[in-house]
Structure 1
């Protein structure tokens, strides 16, 4: 089960999707006004700094849908690992997981555009590691699906030989 390469890829998908719960996804800093907007999986925080350097939270917006989708994607990947006897179901779960991770990526982009509107429009926001590793998880998920299909073809060809 874990010795198969697709199981390793699915485990990586689960670990990555859990890790985005702890990493920032997007940020924007306005140095003149000393304001900051940060997006993570749970909230979009708009804060400012006073002359003493103390951070004051001006507004927050809940973004828990990103975390819900990330947890769901990790759960589907882990469940898919243990469905190794039913390769068709594994392929279906992989397709579902791609949709869930795409939704997570879309929600992160949506909330980053909302955060972009909160601060000076001339300042450019930056996507951070939490956003980019969702794309890496999508890549690992597609690789896992590729190797699951390869195993399925191998088993079907062995059945034809018998």
Structure 2
């Protein structure tokens, strides 16, 4: 039954991971340059707008894409709620790893440039946190469905 409420939350996880891949995650503006982190690259731009350096961060995009794919796979596992919950738990761990990766990357950049300001997290980062909450809510409703099925089986 795809028309359950947890399907909506899992679909929101897919959308949030798409936002993470497509939009900027973090930005650090200093007096003479700007550092911008997206899911694919870290770009260093000077005050004139010329790109100084670009470093690939493909692993952030890979983690986000895999988390979105797991949520999509989980949507179609509605007949096996145990497997669906397991996939969502693995997805939760994957999203925590994604947040930790982004956090460590941004802190490393701040240490390298010796900035006193931490930078600003953009919509791509906040989408990861929204996805984590939606994944948690989906698991909660899957557990509710499982409890309902077990209670009906006891009555028979």
Class of the TM-score when normalised by the shorter of the 2 chains: over 0.9
Equivalent residues, number: 156
* Ranges in structure 1 where 5+ consecutive residues have no aligned partner: none
Q: What are the Cα deviations for residues 94-138 of structure 1, in whole angstroms up to 9, with x where unaligned?
A: 100001111111111111112223435234411111111111100
TM-score if structure 2 supplies the norm length? 0.95
The 1:117–1:61 alpha-carbon spacing in structure 2 relative to 1, beyond 3 Å, is farther
Aligned to 2:39: 41
Q: What are the Cα deviations for residues 67-109 of structure 1, in whole angstroms up to 9, with x where unaligned?
A: 0011100110000000000000000001000011111111111
TM-score if structure 1 supplies the norm length? 0.91
Question: Comparing both structures, which one devotes a greater share of its residues to helix?
Answer: 2
Q: Distance in 2 between matches of 1:124 and 1:8?
A: 35
Superposition misfits of 4+ residues, deviation over 4 angstroms: none
Superposition RMSD in Å: 1.2
The 1:100–1:61 alpha-carbon spacing in structure 2 relative to 1, beyond 3 Å, is same
Q: Distance in 1 between matches of 2:92 and 2:118?
A: 29
Q: Distance in 2 between matches of 1:129 and 1:78?
A: 21
Highest CA radius of gyration, 1 or 2? 1
* Ranges in structure 2 where 5+ consecutive residues have no aligned partner: none
**Contact 1:30–1:120, Cα closer than 8 Å, also in 2:** no
